Each structure stands twice: as C-alpha cells, then as structure tokens.
C-alpha cells in the first residue's frame, strides 16, 4: 500500500521564480544505502519546462527497485515518480501552465507527436526515459545540483524533493480543488492497476479475474476488475494480512500460495474450473509472471504483466502455454495516455467514481522517507 510523504515548503515570491531554488531533497548517492536528506539547488526551468513545488509524493515499489538494483539507473539520483504539486514557475514557450496550477508529474510523458502518441493502440511515448535510462532532462542535462555535483533525474519526474523540474509533456494540469495528498496516487499506482484492468485487459462483465500481489497497485487492479463487472475476483498473496483490504475493495476470494503444496496455477485452475478469463501479475517476479499466464484459460485467457520486471533476468516457460491461444500482454501506466487521461481520472475521483483513501496506510513527513521505505519492504 502507499505511504504518502507530505511536503511543507514555503512558496517563493514571483520575483524569485526564475532563480535557483535551494530546498531539501532525498538524494540516493549509491545503491543499497538509505536516502540522505540534503540541501539541493534546483535550476530554473528551461524552454518548455515547468518547475513544480511537490506537495505530496507516494512511495512506490519501482523506486525501491532502483535502490536494490532491480531497475538500473545512474547514481546519484533523486527518485520518486508518483506525486502532486503546484506550478512554481514556467520556462519560455510554456503556454498550457501558469504558476499556481495544481499538477501531477507524469513518468510516462505524452509528446503528442511520436508514433505511440499518435496511435490509438499505444501510450508509451517514445520520449520516455525507460529505454535510455539516462536520468537526464530531454536536453541531456540535469536541473539538480548537490555539493557541487550534478544529480540525476528519475523518469523525468524526481518527486522526492521539495521542488522539481519536468518537461511540459510530463505534466498534467488537474482540478484546482483536488486534494493533492490523495490524488498523487493517480500519478502511478492507482492509474497503473486500475487501467491494467479496464484499459489493457478490457475486463468484461461476468468474467473471472486473478490478481497476483495485492499491494497498492494490485488493489487498484481489484478495483478496476470490480468496476468492469467481473463476477469473481481472486486475490493471491503470500501475506494474508492484505486479504481484508482486498475483500473490502472487491475481491471475492483470497488465496495464499503457502497454504498449498501444489503449484498455485493448478490451485487456481481447480478453483475456477477452467482457469481465469484474466490474470494480472503485480509483483515483478518472473516465476509469478509464468504462474499468472498458466492459470488463465488455455484458449482465450488474457494475462497482463503489471509489475516491473527485474533487470537482467530471463523467463523460461512452456511455449504451449501461448500456442493454445492465451494472450500475454504488458501494461505501463495502465495503458492510459497520460496528459489526456490523468485530469479525467482526477475528475472521476472528485465525482466519487472510485476511492483512494483505502490505498493509503501511512502519512509521513518528508524527512521520514527512510521509515516509509522500511514500511514498504515489510509489507506494512
């Protein structure tokens, strides 16, 4: 689930808005070490960029993957990619934002010009930083400096800082009345899980769904399956403490693989009679990705990979699992076109079409970010 870090940052006067801002940031100097709260310098936004005061940021497992080496990025780096804030200043040429606007940074940009943005089938803008993992702004430089050293960005967002800079294609303007400490989850976890069900898989009414992993993103998949009208929603997790929340949000059955001696996909096929219509892997482990594929209906089942795959690992599986007709799909940010969809999702939240409060287990001050990650790693 999510711990939300709240920022308490003075808003600078407009006369200072194009100067360097000094503020606190959680810098990750090297892998497998705690965050270090440092004073950093945040440069003014360049052309087509926006400088944002971060009000609240969620702690996501993907950030932890960088710390542990599961997702390879350059160090030192300011992590964080799930947040909400207020525009502090804008660079030359920015016309769609103004200081004071409430916004959500987007780790999947939407440039509106590349093949993926122009296609109705895709949402992974080619200007994302997943492929190159350069940890820099689009012009190849950084806006962060600490102790005289340039600090890398993370996925074009870097939200573990009181102020950040993002390209305008990586920012969405949202309802001015939206509670930032709640809708920050729409910046990643909720949108990723909910969209995997309603956008990527396109779950149908009356269907059977299995979700491997019911942390914050997995619970959002549960919510998406319920909203789509699934009649049976099976939550799978090795931590049974998560099952009460899963049932509260729509799960009809909960299964702990530790309670069985046989492979979990066999258990699920027996439970459903023919396998799931849709399955979702929301953990990021190769063995559960294969299990999720194997548990869905052999001819027309659809399995969606939602969890970030570990670096430098390969999957070995029986190709007959696919030959018989199953579909294996990936889903980044729930398949949503980010700039178009995030404001609509915020509007849906404001209109009470879904809830976010059950996904938030802790609210911590920014300086306790290491405690927040300890809670994440212990499943709390």
Residue-wise burial string across 325-334, b where 16 or more C-beta atoms lie within 10 A, e elsewhere: ebebeebbbb
Rounded Cα–Cα distance for residues 366 and 4 (Å):
9
Among this protein's residues, is 274 annotated catalytic? no
65, 152, 167, 265: the active-site residue: 65
Name the catalytic one among 111, 117, 188, 225. 188
The rounded distance, in Å, linking the Cα atoms of 120 and 114 is: 12
Q: Which residues contact 188 (CB under 8 A, 6 or more apart)?
A: 58, 60, 62, 81, 82, 107, 333
Helix 286-295 / helix 264-272 crossing angle, nearest 10 deg: 20
Tell me if residue 265 is catalytic: no
Using alpha carbons, select from 57, 315, 237 the residue that is nearest to residue 162: 57
Q: How far apart are CA 46 and CA 164, in angstroms?
A: 12
362 included as an active-site residue: no
Distance from C-alpha of 368 to C-alpha of 279, rounded to nearest angstrom:
36
Candidate list 60, 125, 184, 296, residue with the active-site label: 60
Q: Locate tokens 């009679």: which residue?
A: 273
Residue 62 a catalytic site member = yes
Catalytic residues: 60, 62, 65, 81, 188
């Amino acid at each position: 689930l999510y711990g939300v870090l709240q920022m308490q940052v003075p808003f600078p006067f407009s006369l200072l808005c194009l100067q360097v801002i000094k503020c606190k940031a959680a810098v990750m100097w090297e892998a497998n070490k705690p965050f270090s709260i440092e004073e950093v310098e945040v440069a003014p936004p360049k052309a087509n960029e926006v400088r944002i005061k971060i009000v609240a940021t969620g702690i996501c497992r993907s950030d932890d993957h960088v710390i542990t080496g599961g997702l390879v990025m350059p160090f030192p780096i300011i992590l964080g990619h799930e947040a909400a804030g207020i525009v502090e200043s804008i660079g030359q040429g920015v016309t769609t934002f103004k200081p004071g606007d409430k916004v959500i940074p987007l780790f999947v940009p939407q440039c509106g010009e590349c093949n993926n943005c122009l296609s109705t089938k895709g949402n992974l803008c080619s200007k994302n930083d997943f492929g190159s993992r350069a940890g820099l702004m689009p012009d190849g430089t950084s806006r962060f400096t600490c102790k005289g050293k340039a600090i890398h960005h993370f996925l074009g967002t870097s939200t573990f800082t009181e102020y950040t800079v993002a390209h305008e294609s990586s920012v969405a303007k949202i309802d001015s009345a939206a509670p930032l400490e709640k809708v920050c989850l729409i910046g990643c976890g909720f949108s990723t899980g909910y969209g995997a069900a309603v956008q990527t898989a396109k779950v149908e009414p009356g269907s059977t769904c299995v979700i491997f992993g019911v942390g914050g993103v997995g619970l959002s998949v549960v919510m998406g399956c319920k909203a789509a009208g699934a009649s049976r929603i099976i939550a799978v997790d090795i931590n049974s403490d998560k099952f009460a929340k899963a049932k509260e949000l729509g799960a009809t059955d909960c299964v702990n693989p530790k309670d069985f001696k046989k492979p979990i996909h066999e258990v699920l096929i027996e439970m459903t009679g023919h396998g799931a219509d849709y399955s979702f892997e929301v953990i990021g482990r190769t063995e559960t990705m294969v299990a999720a594929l194997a548990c869905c209906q052999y001819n027309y089942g659809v399995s969606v990979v939602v969890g970030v795959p570990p670096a430098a690992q390969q999957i070995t599986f029986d190709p007959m699992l696919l030959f018989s007709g199953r579909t294996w799909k990936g889903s980044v940010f729930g398949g949503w076109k980010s700039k178009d969809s995030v404001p609509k999702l915020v509007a849906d939240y404001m209109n009470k079409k879904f809830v976010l409060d059950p996904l938030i287990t802790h609210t911590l001050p920014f300086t306790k970010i290491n405690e927040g990650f300890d809670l994440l790693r212990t499943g709390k």
